[in-house]
Amino acid sequence: MRIPCPYCGPRGNEEFSYLGDASVRRPDPAIADATQAFHDYVYLRDNPSGGHSELWYHGGGCRRWLVVTRNTRTHEIGAATFADAGGEP
Amino acid sequence: MPDAVLQARSPLHGLARSGHHGRAGPAGLTIVERTDIAFASVIARRGQRDALASAVRASFGLALPDGPRRVGKDGVAFAGIGPGQWIASGENAGDLAASLRERIGAFAAVADQSDSRLVLHLSGARVRDALVKGVPIDLHPRAFKTGDVASTLVAHVGVQIDMLDDAPVFQLTAPRSMAGSFWSWLTASAAEFGYDVATK
Amino acid sequence: MKYSAFALFREALRGHSGWTPAWRKAVPKPHYDVVIIGGGGHGLATAYYLATEHGITNVAVLEKSYIGSGNAGRNTTIIRSNYLLPGNEAFYEWSMKLWEGLEQSFNYNAMVSQRGVLNLYHSDAQRDAFARRGNGMRLHGVDAELLDREQVRRMAPFLDYDNARFPIHGGLLQRRGGTARHDAVVWGYARGADSRGVDIIENCEVTGLDVVNGRVMGIETTRGTIQADKVGMAVAGNTSRVAALAGLRLPIESHVLQAFVSEGIKPAIDCVVTFGAGHFYISQSDKGGLVFGGDIDGYNSYAWRGNLPVVEDVLEEGMAIWPGLGRIRMLRSWGGLMDMSMDGSPIIDRTPVTGLYLNAGWCYGGFKATPASGWCFAHLIARDEPHTVAAALRLGRFASGAVIDEKGAGAQPNLH
Amino acid sequence: MSAPFRLASGGLIDRGKPLSFSFDGKTYNGFAGDTLASALIANGVKLVSRSFKYHRPRGILTAGSEEPNALVELRSGARREPNTRATVTELYDGLVAASQNRWPSLALDVSGINDLLSPFLAAGFYYKTFMWPAKFWEALYEPLIRRAAGLGRVAGAEDPDTYEKAFAHCDVLVIGAGPAGLMAALAAGRAGARVILADEDFRLGGRLLAERHEIDGRPGAAWAAGIEAELSAMPEVRIMHRTTVLGVYDHGQYSAVERVNDHVATPPIHEPRQRSWKIVAKRAVLAAGALERPIAFGNNDRPGVMLAGAARAYINRYAATPGKRLAVFTNNDDGWRTAADARTAGIEVVAVVDSRAAKSELSKLGFSTMSNSRVSHVDGKQGVRAIDVVGANGRATRIECDALAVSGGWNPAVHLTCHLGGKPVWNDEIAAFVPGTRPPAMYAAGATNGAFTLSRCLTGGIAAGAMAAGDCGFDFTPITQPRADDEPAAVTPLWHVKESRAKAFVDFQNDVTAKDIALAHQEGFGSVEHLKRYTTLGMATDQGKTANVTGLAILAEASGRAIPQVGTTTYRPPYVPVSFGAMAGHHRGRDFRPIRLPPSHAWATEQGAVFMETGAWLRAQYYPRAGETDWLQSVNREVAATRASVGVCDVSTFGKVAFEGPDAAAFLDRVCANTLSTLPVGKARYALMLREDGFVQDDGTVARLGPEYFVMTSTTANAPRMMQHLEFCHQVLWPALDVGMVSVSEQWAQFAVAGPRSRDVLCKLIDADIANAAFPYLGAREVSFGGVSARLFRLSFSGELAYELAVPARYGDAVIRAIMAAGAEFAITPYGIEALGVMRTEKGHVAGQEMNGQLTARDLGLGRMMSTRKDYIGRVMAQRPALLDPERPAFVGLRPVERSARLRAGAHFIPVGAAATIENDEGYMTSVAFSPTFGHWIGLGVLKRGPERIGQRVRAYDPVRNGDVEVEVCSPHFFDPEGARLHA
């Protein structure tokens, strides 16, 4: 695959590390059912066949974490953005 | 401390022999190891990117690039390696990191990286033909121009490539600890064209 | 018709006119006691053992394509029971025991070949980690031998002992490990189940699960609605999709694993060898092709195809341990969909939906597990309680913390 | 002597360059421009190989990479290359080839008996027998089967040739340089696009080289040479000869292999044998042509039976004739051209057998024509003697001939259109599959696209090239279409001659016959995939290029369905088999992966250090001295000397991360289990990091060098992943935190100076007060070292008074020498990672062996480090019940009851007197060391309720090394538990 890094341009996926579903959010540990929430966050995934937004780390390039929307059936990539909005809040 | 001043060693110490190597005849490329360039990483503070840019303009007369490009003047250069991140370099710049901290430290985290990398300047008619044996990015003049910068993986080694001029001259920097393996790949790739090694 | 040398001889003399289909092309009946979704090795083995061990024969196996079209027919055919953790080892050893009598049991030559599985180690720390595993195997009564460099050299002189980036220090050997002919396993179970009354229904895709008041009532398929008292899922890479039909969310991601075969060559390697400083395993099929593989492609995918970097990595690793392969050619590569679980170990359990059972999370190790997976899944479905050797392979382990993490890689499927 | 089947004139061979070669030990002659196959044909060699299963004699069937029969072992010794296609092997002087899979010789191969036994060896026979008795499979049946199977032999030694990888980028990749490909490249090239034109062959032109077609009034080959000349003159067009595109991958990536030097005996120095290319193209034009297919009839595999298009290739391109009396069997117009070209070349054509009823207009050519007829049988074993032809009346006529050219029609080479999941679709007009859904950004042109006439190929090529270039933003400059004929190409499918008595082969190499396919269907293996798997149809080295579609058609006939209903064929990479060497390139042997060397490596080498791989690093394991006979002696000396006086060790391999910014402290509190925000400036602290699932991930030290400036170390093995994890925490979890983070691992050389005299050594080197009062345990500060600004940390892994000195890496070599010089008066001793491990084990520090990803902080006795006052990674999940279970094995020290006994890591703990079963498994030994300090082996491990069992005894059970040692449970802190020494 070629991942369109918003900083470096399209690069082979061998430059990246993958961390799966980008839609899960780390829960607030203060909430009542934090244990259940963390269980779901750490372990449960939709694992869809089709559109998927996922985390890729460009360790072989700009060392940015990216959110990539990719079709898991066709591997077609929609968008790739910086996970932290380019470090510019 | 009683001893004389410490002797510095280049990453290629004992590896690179000056002279002609590979195929006999005119050299297809020339490889120069540079040990006279200081490097420092510059990371903009949250929300301080613009302040940093103006500080850089004020101190060095340089417009900090937004993308993977480098700007330079009077031997000092800034190369974009990521959003809000640059590698500054200076030829014979002494303690570059210290002077950067002094001038732009209020807006950026600065770390000396002068010793962290093997620095090579590659030139010659066949330099691109040798580099394609490991460089995955497109180095064609239409695609990679003077002032362009790329961080990528070459032969399993993380490498930063700066195009310094159209001659062409490319600057490749690789992690110091991997200098030997990187050199093994580079020389194997260049041998077909014949190459000269010089040190500066 | 029983397969035998005699039958073969007789048929040869009459132009093979007597052979009948290995399994019927069954059409769906309106109701079954048990419906197994997935006509791969695990699903067919489950049906086979439901019939042979539990006397349940009103069973249908639904396959959306042809049987064995998934991972059962796209793997590197390795069988072994050399696991580190108790939760796994007892299960995989039970599988190995079943392999050892399988062909006589279902009257099909699956070419189970106990030629030995040799895991190379490349450092003292890795040696000790392998010793921990080998000792655990021995505590389970499983065969394991820790070989030093010279013993490995005698077994596999063609490996690189002199110029390797990661020198070979020795290996952990399980002699009872080996290989089996993957398609034959599928066809053998299918034929065995069919002959006992199980309906094997191909080209029948599940499109919905009828769940009423938390209980499964039946299945919508491309070939109509089928009522079922109990439904078992054994669909590997499609687990999340099928489970979603019942509103379930699971600790599973689907990833592509590639497998490779070389051109046929004369016998060159007599056991299965795995590379300890990377992710590479190789053996040789009876036809002569080198069968090998490496790491998964590393990202969620339902596309049955591999990527190029992994192909390069795998062939680099092949050259790294066996430099003589330089002029041997890779003939074919293919990709299968792995149901990678969050701790790298499988799940054979009930689900929150009554009557719906789950068999998943096989990662890239499903083939070797086929017999025990079917055996234990059949037991679970028939008795509604987990089999003892699968007692640890439960869904609840992620909440309790009793995860079975062989690699110690944590909750990241693509690292297992 | 001149070759008997070489035509007197014509061909594209260079008769001025004769070449000598040998096959099975006999020497022959050929010319430059020959392939091994054409040279063998010219020399009248018909029998070249034996088939896989029945060991039937085989000849040459095709003239391309689809060849199923003519596989040889090329070259010899370490360069021996099995299964090499003679049809694409360029002849070179001194070429040595041998037939394979036969014994004792090609002509009399005893395994030929299999052919007679074939009734017992029908498809899938092995699934039905060899089951009794069970143990006989490995002992008897399998070894016999394995020995009989397989083709050529792997070389016994490392491949002496080198290989390379390379990357290429272009706007338009044109695959195939036949008429369509040449036109596509020309159109795209003239438009100004960056074009790569890749072709398998050593000469451009594709089928034009094999035909007598004319374009613009010039012979096809000459016309192609003209186009090549124009393309070569275009700066942005790159022509890649001898380059096969193997695979299509996502997002415009193509894999290809260039046979750089396979056409010479050995590659020139500095040049690789092969080069594997990764090509990134915005658009691709697939112009791979078509592959002719055989017809299944009795003994259709006999040497001398050849595809009609291949016969033309040998006659027209190589001036080599497959026979003196040629017969042609065709179901289409194209086959007739073989007759015409043969006659033009002066070869006697004894008959043209056309299965079609309607007389082709070509029958006007005046051959002895038998229409509505089929060849049912070939007479002859190792060559063709005659053929039996069944006519309309059903009666058979025997025709004497010595060669038979067969054309069953052509299959477009759709392979690459399938690599991303595309399925070809059936086209009735040409009775073949044409591309269906193609990969994004790929066009197909010419015969690949079902265009079977020359002028249509030219038109299609121009159109595809223009569209591809246009997609990339280049304006198309119109090209005048070259003049060429639309030659007749009608076909009426004939797959299988029912009247055949003998075996009618579909997959030649794997010996799959029409009967086998019928049997598979009879036994229920009626889906295409089951058919392939059950009969091995299409599984041979040619991937069924000449067999798959015919097999599918025969299955369709057997099941009374139309071909599209039966299914389609799909293809996976690689298009042709590719060598391990090419795909590995430079990355083999020591260059498999980069080696990381610490700054003291050269110095350590001078000291005669023994090195070992630790992750990517090569580190000094120990420093043997003269007279020391085993490693343990050296390690004991290093430990004793360090504890007695002072030792030095390179610890540069630790990961080092700098954190700078107002939120640096807050960030570290969130990623570490313990609190670091309270760390004073000038101090260092041990830091523990968990994974989010609550297990230990890594440990290290954090030093605060300024109010907003920290430096963290991580373990050598985890350094890269920790950097990624820290970036994840910052960029994904808490992007608002204002902290800049960068790895400085490569910048700093770091040395541990340990032992009671370490301070004395450093005092000589550093202009700073490092007395205990001024610089106590866990101090951290910047110092000047010989004019170089350095960092000094008072950290101890060994339990001794110790320091870690960090200097810029370029001075690492000088600094280790300076330390050794300054320490000489204290008999300073360099120590390696073995001694380091011994001392940390004596001290009871956890390391990689304990942080195996399966243990928690509590398991390792570090529970007290888990802060209860703040959130941090892993805090919540660490509270799961199974992780709090008091029965979990926990961290202890162990010493052998019999002090002389040796301990080994990996041993399991079982109660004394209990049976060695898994039920009694209570934990395992994580680390061991021989402690010269105590004079016996000591160990660390995790034991069920361990900390409660201090003083008890358990068995350390290690059957894989015949070990079974009774050990006493003790505190893991063997050495100086109060820490008096490190505070000294």
State what percent of residues in chain D have pLDDT above 90: 92
Mean pLDDT of the region B105-109: 97
Mean pLDDT of the region D209-235: 97
Contact D727 A65 (CB under 8 A): yes
Gap from A89 CA to chain C (nearest CA, Å)? 29
pTM: 0.97
Tell me: pLDDT of D316 over 90: yes
Mean pLDDT of the region C329-338: 95
> SS in 3 state form for D791-833?
EEECCCCCCCCEEEEEEEHHHHHHHHHHHHHHHHHHCCEECCH
Q: What is the pLDDT of residue D358?
A: 72
Pair of tokens at residue C184: 């034959």
* Cα dihedral C290, C291, C292, C293 in deg (nearest 10): 150
Mean pLDDT, rounded, of chain D: 96
Chain D residues with beta carbon closer than 8 angstroms to that of A54: none
Tell me: pLDDT of B2 over 50: no
Query: What amino acid occupies position A6?
Result: P
Chain D residues with beta carbon closer than 8 angstroms to that of B179: 597
Pair of tokens at residue D844: 């009871």
State the residue for tokens 């004497």: D400
pLDDT-derived band at A89, boundaries 50, 70, 90 = very low
Contact A74 C298 (CB under 8 A): no
Contact A1 D249 (CB under 8 A): yes
pLDDT digits (tens, 9 = 90+) for D7-61: 999 999 999 999 999 999 999 999 999 999 999 999 999 999 999 999 999 999 9
> Angle at CA C275, nearest 5°, toward C271 and C277?
165
Contact A46 C249 (CB under 8 A): yes
Alpha-carbon dihedral sign for residues D796, D798, D801, D804 = negative
Chain C residues with beta carbon closer than 8 angstroms to that of A43: 251, 342, 398, 411
Q: Which chains form contacts with chain B, at 3 or more CB pairs under 8 Å?
A: A, D
C398 close contact with A: CB closer than 8 A: yes
Alpha-carbon dihedral sign for residues D286, D290, D291, D297 = positive
In this prediction, does ipTM exceed 0.90? Answer: yes
Chain D residues with beta carbon closer than 8 angstroms to that of B7: 811, 813-814
Pair of tokens at residue D185: 């490249």
pLDDT digits (tens, 9 = 90+) for D818-845: 999 999 999 999 999 999 999 999 999 9
State the residue for tokens 């694993």: C257
Q: What is the pLDDT of residue D650?
A: 98
Chain C residues with beta carbon closer than 8 angstroms to that of D583: 311-312, 315-316, 330
Contact D524 C128 (CB under 8 A): no
pLDDT digits (tens, 9 = 90+) for C391-401: 999 999 999 99
238-257 in chain D: CB under 8 A from chain A:
249-253
Gap from B184 CA to chain A (nearest CA, Å)? 20
Residue from the list D598, D660, D810 with its beta carbon closest to the beta carbon of B177? D598
Tell me: pLDDT of A88 over 60: no
Look at residue C180 and give its three-state secondary structure.
coil
Tell me: pLDDT of A87 over 90: no
The continuous run of DSSP H or E covering C25 comes out as: none
Q: Convert C325-363 to b/e letters by CB count within 10 Å (16 or more is b).
A: bbbbbbbbbbbbbbbbbbbbbbbbbbbebebbbbbbbbb
* Cα dihedral D584, D586, D590, D595 in deg (nearest 10): -110
Tell me: pLDDT of D360 over 70: no
Pair of tokens at residue B98: 């210290």
Give how far Cα D199 sits from Cα of C351, D218, D223, D582, Å.
56, 22, 17, 17
Q: What is the pLDDT of residue D1?
A: 52
Contact A8 B150 (CB under 8 A): yes
Q: What is the pLDDT of residue B29?
A: 97
Tell me: pLDDT of B181 over 80: yes
Residue C269 and residue C292 in contact, taking contact as beta carbons nearer than 8 Å:
no
Residue in chain A nearest D870 by alpha carbon: A29
Contact A89 D736 (CB under 8 A): yes
Contact D786 B3 (CB under 8 A): yes
Residue D700 and residue D726 in contact, taking contact as beta carbons nearer than 8 Å:
no
Residue from the list C25, C135, C308 with its beta carbon closest to the beta carbon of D249? C308
Chain D residues with beta carbon closer than 8 angstroms to that of A29: 871, 875-876
Pair of tokens at residue D411: 């299959």
Residue from the list A30, A35, A59 with its beta carbon closest to the beta carbon of D879? A35
Give the integer Cα–Cα distance in Å for D346 and D316: 12
Q: What is the pLDDT of residue D570?
A: 81
pLDDT-derived band at A65, boundaries 50, 70, 90 = very high
DSSP secondary structure, chain B, as one string: --SPPPPP--TTTTTPPSEEESSSSS-SEEEEE--SEEEEEEEEPTT-HHHHHHHHHHHHS----SSSBEEEETTEEEEEEETTEEEEEEET-SSHHHHHHHHHTTTEEEEE-TTSEEEEEEESTTHHHHHTTT--S--STTTS-TTBEEEEEETTEEEEEEEEETTTEEEEEEEGGGHHHHHHHHHHHHGGG-EEEEE-
Q: What is the pLDDT of residue B57?
A: 97
pLDDT digits (tens, 9 = 90+) for D480-497: 999 998 888 899 999 999
Mean pLDDT of the region B47-61: 97
Tell me: pLDDT of B1 over 50: no
365-384 in chain C: CB under 8 A from chain A:
none
pLDDT digits (tens, 9 = 90+) for C374-383: 999 999 999 9
305-344 in chain C: CB under 8 A from chain D:
305, 307-308, 311-312, 315-320, 323-334
Residue C122 and residue C276 in contact, taking contact as beta carbons nearer than 8 Å:
yes
Residue in chain C nearest A34 by alpha carbon: C399
- Residue of B151, B160, B162 to mutate, interface with A, max A Cβ within 10 Å: B151
Tell me: pLDDT of D807 over 90: yes
Give the integer Cα–Cα distance in Å for D184 and D206: 14
C60 close contact with A: CB closer than 8 A: no
Stated length of chain A: 89
- Chain B residues at the A interface, defined by Cβ less than 8 Å, are 44, 46-47, 49, 67-68, 81-85, 136-137, 150-153, 158
pLDDT-derived band at B199, boundaries 50, 70, 90 = confident
Residue from the list B46, B68, B85 with its beta carbon closest to the beta carbon of A8? B68
Cis upstream peptide for D104 (omega within 30°): yes
**Closest listed residue to residue D280, CA positions, set D256, D253, D258, D257:** D253
- Residue of A15, A43, A69 to mutate, interface with C, max C Cβ within 10 Å: A43
Tell me: pLDDT of A86 over 60: no
Residue in chain C nearest A50 by alpha carbon: C302
Residue in chain B nearest A10 by alpha carbon: B137
Gap from A72 CA to chain B (nearest CA, Å)? 25
Pair of tokens at residue D692: 């989010």
Q: What is the pLDDT of residue B200?
A: 63
- Residue of C128, C258, C333, C334 to mutate, interface with D, max D Cβ within 10 Å: C128
Mean pLDDT of the region B30-40: 97
Q: Which chains form contacts with chain D, at 3 or more CB pairs under 8 Å?
A: A, B, C
